[in-house]
A and B are shown apart, each in its own frame.
Chain A
Amino acid sequence: MKEVILVSSAINWIVNILSYIVTALIRLIFGLFKISDSFLDSERYINAVTFFFTDTIVIFLMIIAITFVVSIIRSFFPPERTRKLLGEQGKARGFFGNIAGALLGIVTPFCSCSAVPVFIGFIGAGIPLGATFSFLIASPMVNEVAVTMLWALFGWKIALLYMATGLTVAIIAGVIIGKLKMEKYLEEDVCNIKIGDTEIVKLTWKQRITDAWSYDLDLLKKIWPYIIAGLVIGAAIHGWAPGDWLAKYAGRGNPFAVPIAVLLGIPLYSNAAGTLPIVSELTKLGVPMGTALSFMMAVTALSLPEMIILRKVMKPRLLAVFIGIMAVTIIFVGYLFNFVLA
């Protein structure tokens, strides 16, 4: 705990120094180009631009650092090993299976392309449907980018709370789906594909570090436009948002804010990197944290591309049940957050 507070303080310290430097630079530039005060209301403008740059730099630095550490941890948990761990001698029975599935889901890197083989591989190894779903829900939801940006934008407590609720959603939804005994709604492929048994290749530390670093750079290359876009849209919301409208429909006064937010978020799709800066602005405008986060979860966890991929292994009814239960669980968690944080 002390280490976390220390790191948070260090980050605050870095932000302050960066703000100072960037502000000084911007003043210099404004002065050099003789940008007139009356036109730009320079103080507010300087602040807005400063925050934009320092927020961006801090977010990128944190993503680089945390993704690296998480990737090293993940190198110890390839999905093939998780399959062996959970599949051994019915280890994943019952409630414990859902917890284990969700926890292992967090430490497994998620790629939409591997969702199908992982799903088939788990079922084929005898891992119960419920536990498999817990894994499949936790893995994309609790990802290092989401957690890092939550930490950067809202502090480490909210980031941890998000991880806890991601786990809770994964476990509860997995348990419910398991209890519904919907195995017969799996596509035939799932039961027919033979999964080979191979020795899991051991990695050296040099390989782990090289892999983590190249994954880090690849990730950055993929998400930087989304982060910038999110921050720019967030800044725009800051300037022009309909604060009253938001307060009336998404604020504390409306008891249906959470379900509306979730239902709005389901058809939308974005990744955490692009969504979180916008969510941050919404909370500054008075939208409660629970409502805002459940909106973010609905947007990022339930996506059309993922549904199309999952349709290969699930019949429509099971897919619909999956989406429905996820929505209900996220709504429940949204109310819980609002209650806990109030």
Chain B
Amino acid sequence: MNIKVLVSCCSDYGLKETTEEVIKELGIDATVEKVKDIQTIMAYGVMKPPAIVVNEKVKAMGRVPSKDEIKKYIQNELNA
């Protein structure tokens, strides 16, 4: 599973670290990347970071998802 955390200069919020915790708790095999490049972020159709992309699908945009929400996004993708 591939997870990308899209952030900008004023919106990091430790999303990568939170996502890594979730992966550990769920015990699954996944990579978490932090993306700061504006071109890549916009390629996902996101204009306002932060955002979370799971398996190339945008799950949250323009807000900071809670740990539980991140867990739900990942679990939904696992079940898909």
Contacts and interface: CB of A to CB of B under 8 A. Distances in A.
B80 interface: no
A114 B43 contact: no
A195 B41 CA distance: 9
Nearest to A120: B42
Contacts of B66: 210
Contacts of A120: 42
Interface stretch (A142-150, A197-205, A225-233): A197-205
Given A111-B10, A113-B8, A80 B38 contact: no
B32 interface: no
Contacts of B42: 117, 120-121, 193-196
A178 interface: no
Contacts of A196: 42-46
B63 interface: yes
Nearest to B41: A117
A116 interface: yes
A203 B63 CA distance: 10
Interface in B15-60: 38-39, 41-49, 58-60
Interface string A89-126: 00000000000000000000101111011101100000
A166 interface: no
A118 B58 contact: no
B61 A80 contact: yes
A78 interface: yes
Nearest to A122: B47
A254 interface: no
Contact of B10 (A78, A112, A118): A112
Interface residues of A, number: 28
Q: How large is the interface on B (under 10, 10 to 19, 20 to 34, 35 or more residues)?
A: 20 to 34
Contacts of A113: 8-11, 49
B73 to A, nearest CB: 10
A78 B61 contact: yes
A194 B37 CA distance: 13
B38 A117 contact: yes
A215 to B, nearest CB: 9
Interface in A183-229: 193-201, 203, 207, 210-211, 214
B58 A198 contact: yes
A196 B43 CA distance: 4
Nearest to A189: B39
A109 B62 CA distance: 10
A112 B11 CA distance: 11
B48 A118 contact: yes
Contacts of B49: 113-114
B26 to A, nearest CB: 21
Given A78-B62, A199-B58, A201-B58, A114 B9 contact: no
Interface of B: 8-11, 38-39, 41-49, 58-64, 66, 69
5 contacts: A78-B47, A111-B48, A113-B8, A114-B8, A203-B63
